[in-house]
């Protein structure tokens, strides 16, 4: 069977580097109200909570597959896919954070999320994955280049009639992404509105395809590569050096995954909030109506833990707020996931909702009027949770507040 | 209705598994060589009542039970010994039931881990004093109490964690639930003290390696966390074993924990072959040759701290070559592990620094402080004698640390480091057992037992026959069908 687990074989040393210490299962250091290290895997308190659902258990499962103690099965795959790939396990893994230590285990494992994605890809190759809903999504992505069962030809229907954009050149290409194109499209129009007001010229292309994030996260590398290749050709022909996106998932994919999928990848990738942070600092965006009401911020995993963008959104909040900004207890690299990532929202919607409700409760504890974020996928998840919980907190994209403030 | 169905009825299907791909995650511990056996069922109860029902069902089917906390055992304590095992994952029982600041006690479900508990206590200005085991932040209170754990921090000042246990609720092997400590009185409303109602029967369940019953609720002492601390690190080039011991002895004569506020005191021998000592661990120690001592002292008053630090430094200077510090950049690691990291789990940083799949088979043993230099020399001799055998199984041996316990004892962090290589495992286990036996017969006692340590005690005839017979009778009283953690102590 190991012949079908090529990636796990390649990663064997990394798998063996997990010595089972179990920090990923619920460790915390420092004050509870202000931890200096905290395991925030959503599966600790949601779902059945067996170790198999946590990082230590998944390493053991992967070893079991290589040792022949386990055979790939649909049941096993169902466990492996109940993970949002948020990367909280990586942050807490054997994490001495001692700058004076020469070596530590985390360096051996390198990147947990990469291993979970590779395991999923192996399970796909073994014919026991992905989940049935993911298969339906793959089919549609192949045909219409989006995971929302929408038509490709309607991708730019969100564009307001009076908005200005280019078909080539300008300051950057605005990579809209599927969620911002087909679902929460006011995020896209808000961003375009802000950039129009700031005299930033963006190219938008009707030929943009899904970035492939859902495929990469759920083990379908073949379609992901096709999508990446198409988008790369599109970017090359757009006469830009820079790509900007409002979606943390697209950002992670373009910034972290595309360079691995595309030879000679040469584009600068920025998130919209990084661009706005720069524009505010340069005085190109003037804040004239500061936002009243306490604000809190949810770090999207793809933007925060995966790409290390923590300061830009906080700088922007500082610039636009009239009242306090209150961090949630779990923030930045120990931020709790919204529950939607890694294909969980599409295949395990109840689990995703339960996790998101947990996050809403944490946001409510801050006393905030606004729960902001910088990812339409997180936004969607948190909005669903706020609605289910009948919460009075206003879940908004940070771009909406910026637009209100200028 | 079969075993699985009866168990699932207690906790719901969601929290009961008979799937190998789920249960395999409970086959591992922190040692790399003891057999990794997949339990037939894993169950996650949330209450004492559910644990009691699980034990009653296990009795009906005569199925062995293994309680597991954080799964951080270094000696196989949380590893199933047979495939028939019902593994009881206690981590769902993780609630803090009461923080009684007036009585200076905290009552918890035993599945909570020490780090979660202390993080919440820190918020209120308290801590548990001893911070549990040194085997990881995920280690559970129940596991710590089952192993007399101490190495997680604070054991010089507060002793092992079991010394701070005031009340303990146990599910016996019959399913019966009993509480030991002051709550054994039907008239005590809140637990406050361990002794006072006759003999200390709670002691039977402390350090029992989970054999006498399942720990479900515990009340522990809590202490106000001192706001001031200081820590020093010293290099000892000459006769490091003897000089570190003499340093401690002189500090002890000054009332080192009671009057000078010593919280923790560690001695790290010169570079050992276990690979987790000075040679390749702390970069800021540089290219040194010798042993290293580091200690932390706490105080509630700044001036008292200054004076105590001065007294301790004067003693330390007499026995050391030079100070590594005072800054962390110059090698004073105490500021890092106590000050910045929440002051426990110095070992935590050591795990798996040896590289992929290379981890310790520890034989940690307790000795009187006055005897540890002699024992370290004997361990060096053991290493020389077994050099070839170690080489053959790709293992190394040595001592990584000596940690002072309260009063007159310390424990030696000794053992082997070995790999996951299937073909070499048997040889590693043989050497591991050999070192256990060697140390026990030199008059040391086990810091923790787990699976392998508890078995070596019996196999090496460390107990007299009369003692072991008595022990077995106590076990029979607590667990008549020998269902809880069978195999340990050769039960």
Mean pLDDT (whole number) for A141-153: 97
The Cα–Cα gap between A404 and A406 comes to 6
| ipTM of the shown complex | 0.95
Mean pLDDT (whole number) for B155-183: 97
Q: Would the pLDDT of B359 be above 80?
A: no
CB < 8 Å to B340, chain A: 36
Q: What's the gap in Å between the CA of B115 and the closest CA on chain A? A: 5
> Which B positions 468-487 lie with beta carbon below 8 A of chain A?
none
CATH class of the domain defined by B3-92 = alpha beta
The Cα–Cα gap between B122 and A338 comes to 28
Best to test chain B binding among A15, A25, A28 (most B CBs inside 10 Å): A28
Q: What is the pLDDT of residue A3?
A: 59
Residue B352 has its nearest CB partner, among A26, A58, A94, at A94
Res. B352 pLDDT band, cuts 50 70 90: low
Which CATH number applies to A144-279: 3.40.50.1860, 3.40.980.10, 3.40.190.10, 3.55.50.30? 3.40.50.1860
| Closest CA in chain A for residue B137 | A27
Res. A328 pLDDT band, cuts 50 70 90: very high
CATH class of the domain defined by B228-349 = alpha beta
Tokens of B232: 């020093």
CB atoms within 10 A of CB A262: 17
The Cα–Cα gap between A170 and A241 comes to 9
Q: What is the pLDDT of residue B330?
A: 86
The Cα–Cα gap between B301 and A197 comes to 59
DSSP state of A50: -
Q: Would the pLDDT of B351 be above 60?
A: no
Cβ(B458)–Cβ(B489) below 8 Å: yes
Residue A19 has its nearest CB partner, among B89, B119, B359, at B359
Q: What is the pLDDT of residue B194?
A: 97
pLDDT > 90: what percent of chain A? 88
CATH class of the domain defined by A285-405 = alpha beta
Res. A238 pLDDT band, cuts 50 70 90: very high
| Closest CA in chain B for residue A58 | B25
Flag if B119 and A48 touch (Cβ within 8 Å).
no
Residue A19 has its nearest CB partner, among B70, B337, B351, at B351
Closest CA to B268 of B239, B244, B247: B244
Q: What is the pLDDT of residue A362?
A: 98
pLDDT per residue as tens digits for the range B6-25? 999 999 999 999 999 999 99
Q: What is the pLDDT of residue B276?
A: 47
Q: What is the pLDDT of residue B307?
A: 97
Residue B21 has its nearest CB partner, among A28, A36, A75, at A75
Domain boundaries, chain B: 3-92, 96-224, 228-349, 356-448
Answer whether A14 touches B (CB < 8 Å).
yes
Q: Would the pLDDT of A102 be above 80?
A: no
Q: What is the pLDDT of residue A20?
A: 85
The Cα–Cα gap between A298 and A371 comes to 7
Q: What is the pLDDT of residue B356?
A: 58
DSSP state of B300: S
Q: What is the pLDDT of residue B228?
A: 95
What Å distances lie between residue A278 and A195, A266, A274, A275, A302, CA to CA? 12, 21, 6, 5, 20
Residue B42 has its nearest CB partner, among A27, A35, A50, at A50
Which of B74-83, B331-340, B358-367 ranks highest by mean pLDDT? B74-83
Q: Which residues contact A60 (CB under 8 A, 6 or more apart)?
A: A18, A20, A51, A52, B24, B25, B27, B28
Mean pLDDT (whole number) for B201-211: 97
Flag if B353 and A103 touch (Cβ within 8 Å).
yes
Chains A, B: CB contacts within 8 A come to 175
Q: Which helix (H) or strand (E) holds B96?
A: strand B96-100
Topology (CATH level 3) of domain B96-224? 3.30.465
Of B20-29, B145-154, B156-165, B265-274, which range is least confident? Answer: B265-274
pLDDT per residue as tens digits for the range A339-348? 999 999 999 9
Mean pLDDT (whole number) for B126-140: 90
Mean pLDDT (whole number) for A152-156: 96
Q: What is the pLDDT of residue B434?
A: 97
Q: What is the pLDDT of residue B360?
A: 80
Q: What is the pLDDT of residue A98?
A: 56
Residue A50 has its nearest CB partner, among B17, B138, B340, at B17
Mean pLDDT (whole number) for B327-346: 74
Whether the model pTM is above 0.90 = yes
* Residue, of A105 and A154, whose pLDDT is higher: A154
Best to test chain B binding among A13, A15, A32 (most B CBs inside 10 Å): A32
Best to test chain A binding among B25, B279, B346 (most A CBs inside 10 Å): B25
What phi and psi values does residue A302 have, to the nearest 5 degrees? -65, -30
What beta strand segments (E) does A127-180 contain? 172-175
Q: Which residues contact B209 (CB under 8 A, 6 or more apart)?
A: B77, B146, B147, B448, B449, B450, B454, B485, B488, B489
Answer whether B377 touches A (CB < 8 Å).
no
Whole-number average pLDDT of chain B: 92
pLDDT per residue as tens digits for the range A9-64? 999 988 888 888 898 999 998 899 999 889 999 999 999 999 999 999 999 999 99
Res. A316 pLDDT band, cuts 50 70 90: very high
pLDDT per residue as tens digits for the range B264-310? 999 988 865 444 444 456 677 777 788 999 999 999 999 999 999 99
Q: Would the pLDDT of B355 be above 60?
A: no
Of A65-74, A92-101, A260-269, which range is least confident? Answer: A92-101
The Cα–Cα gap between A243 and A174 comes to 6
Q: What is the pLDDT of residue B393?
A: 94
Answer whether A70 touches B (CB < 8 Å).
yes
Flag if A21 and B72 touch (Cβ within 8 Å).
yes
Flag if A49 and B38 touch (Cβ within 8 Å).
no
Mean pLDDT (whole number) for A226-234: 98
Of A257-271, A357-371, B272-286, which range is least confident? Answer: B272-286
Res. B439 pLDDT band, cuts 50 70 90: very high
Mean pLDDT (whole number) for B145-156: 91
Of A2-6, A109-113, A202-206, A276-280, which range is least confident? Answer: A2-6
Flag if B348 and A96 touch (Cβ within 8 Å).
yes
Q: What's the gap in Å between the CA of A353 and the closest CA on chain B? A: 18
Q: Which residues pair with A295 in a beta bridge?
A: A325, A370
CB atoms within 10 A of CB A74: 12
Whether omega for the bond prior to residue A153 falls within 30 degrees of 0, making it cis, is no
* Cα angle value B293/B159/B223 (rounded, 5°): 105
């Amino acid at each position: 069977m190991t012949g079908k687990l090529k990636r796990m074989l390649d990663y064997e040393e990394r798998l063996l580097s997990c010595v089972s210490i179990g920090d990923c299962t619920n460790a915390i250091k420092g004050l509870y109200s202000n931890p200096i290290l905290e395991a925030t895997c959503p599966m600790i308190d949601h779902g059945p909570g067996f170790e198999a659902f946590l990082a230590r258990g998944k390493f053991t499962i992967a070893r079991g597959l290589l040792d022949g103690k386990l055979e790939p099965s649909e049941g096993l795959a169902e466990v492996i896919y109940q993970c949002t790939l948020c990367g909280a396990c990586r942050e807490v893994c054997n994490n001495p954070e001692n700058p004076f230590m020469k070596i530590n285990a985390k360096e051996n494992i390198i990147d947990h999320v990469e291993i979970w994605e590779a395991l999923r890809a192996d399970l796909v190759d073994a014919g026991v994955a992905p989940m049935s809903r993911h298969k339906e999504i793959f089919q549609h992505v192949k045909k219409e280049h989006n995971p929302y069962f929408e038509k490709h030809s309607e991708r730019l229907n969100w564009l307001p009639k009076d908005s200005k954009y280019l078909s080539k050149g300008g300051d950057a290409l605005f990579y809209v992404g599927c969620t911002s194109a087909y679902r929460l499209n006011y995020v896209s129009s808000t961003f375009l509105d802000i950039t129009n007001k700031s005299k930033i010229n963006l190219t938008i292309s009707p030929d943009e395809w899904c970035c492939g994030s859902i495929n990469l996260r759920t083990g379908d590398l073949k379609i992901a590569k096709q999508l990446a290749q198409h988008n790369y050709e599109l970017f090359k022909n757009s006469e830009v050096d820079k790509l900007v996106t409002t979606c943390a998932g697209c950002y992670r994919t373009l910034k972290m995954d595309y360079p691995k999928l595309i030879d000679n990848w040469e584009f600068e990738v920025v998130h919209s909030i990084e661009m706005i942070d720069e524009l505010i600092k340069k005085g190109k965006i003037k804040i004239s109506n500061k936002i009243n009401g306490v604000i809190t911020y949810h770090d999207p995993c793809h933007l925060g833990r995966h790409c290390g963008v923590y300061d830009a959104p906080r700088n922007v909040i500082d610039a636009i707020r009239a009242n306090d900004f209150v961090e949630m207890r779990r923030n930045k690299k120990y931020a709790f996931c919204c529950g939607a990532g890694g294909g969980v929202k599409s295949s395990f919607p109840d689990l995703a909702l339960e996790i998101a409700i947990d996050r809403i409760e944490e946001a409510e504890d801050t006393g905030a009027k606004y729960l902001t974020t910088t990812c339409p996928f997180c936004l969607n998840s948190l909005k669903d949770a706020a609605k289910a919980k009948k919460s009075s907190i206003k879940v908004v994209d940070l771009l909406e507040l910026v637009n209100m403030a200028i | 209705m079969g075993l699985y169905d009866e168990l699932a009825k207690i906790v719901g299907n969601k929290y009961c598994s008979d799937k190998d791909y789920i249960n395999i995650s409970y086959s591992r511990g922190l040692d790399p060589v003891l057999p990794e056996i997949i339990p037939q069922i894993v169950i996650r109860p949330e209450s004492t009542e559910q644990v009691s029902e699980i034990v009653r069902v296990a009795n009906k089917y005569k199925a062995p039970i293994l309680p597991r906390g954080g799964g951080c055992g270094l000696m196989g304590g949380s590893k199933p010994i047979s495939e028939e095992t019902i593994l009881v994952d206690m981590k769902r029982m993780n609630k803090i039931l009461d923080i009684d600041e007036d009585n200076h006690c905290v009552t918890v479900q035993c599945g909570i881990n020490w780090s979660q508990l202390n993080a919440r206590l820190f918020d209120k200005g308290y801590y548990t004093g001893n911070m549990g085991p040194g085997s990881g932040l995920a280690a559970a209170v129940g596991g710590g109490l089952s192993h007399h754990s101490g190495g997680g921090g604070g054991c010089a000042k507060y002793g092992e964690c079991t010394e701070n246990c005031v009340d303990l609720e146990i599910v016996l092997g019959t399913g019966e639930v009993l509480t030991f400590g002051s709550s054994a009185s039907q008239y005590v409303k809140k637990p406050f003290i361990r002794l006072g109602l006759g003999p200390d029967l709670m002691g039977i369940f402390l350090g029992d390696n989970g054999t006498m019953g399942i720990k479900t609720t515990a009340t522990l002492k809590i202490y106000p966390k001192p706001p001031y601390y200081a820590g020093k690190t010293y290099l000892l080039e000459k006769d490091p074993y003897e000089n570190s011991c003499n340093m401690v002895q002189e500090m002890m004569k000054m009332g080192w924990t009671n009057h000078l506020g010593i919280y923790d005191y560690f001695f790290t021998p010169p570079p050992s072959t276990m690979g987790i000592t000075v040679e390749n661990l702390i970069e800021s120690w540089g290219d040194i040759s010798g042993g290293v001592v580091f200690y932390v002292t706490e105080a509630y008053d700044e001036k008292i701290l200054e004076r105590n630090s001065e007294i301790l430094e004067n003693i330390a200077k007499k026995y050391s070559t030079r100070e590594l510090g005072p800054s962390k950049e110059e090698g004073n690691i105490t500021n890092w592990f106590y000050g910045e990291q929440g002051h426990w789990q110095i070992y935590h940083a050591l795990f798996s620094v040896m590289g992929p799949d290379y981890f310790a088979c520890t034989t940690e043993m307790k000795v009187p402080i006055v005897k540890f230099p002699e024992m370290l020399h004997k361990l060096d001799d053991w290493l020389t004698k077994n050099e070839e055998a170690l080489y053959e199984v790709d293992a190394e041996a040595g001592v990584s640390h000596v940690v002072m316990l309260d009063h007159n004892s310390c424990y030696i962090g000794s053992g082997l480091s070995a790999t996951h290589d299937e073909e070499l495992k048997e040889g590693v286990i043989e050497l591991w057992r050999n070192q256990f036996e060697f140390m026990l017969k030199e008059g040391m006692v086990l810091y923790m037992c787990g699976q392998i340590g508890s078995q070596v005690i019996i196999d090496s005839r460390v107990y007299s026959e009369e003692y072991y017979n008595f022990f077995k009778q106590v076990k029979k009283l607590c667990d008549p069908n020998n269902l809880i953690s069978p195999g340990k102590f050769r039960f």
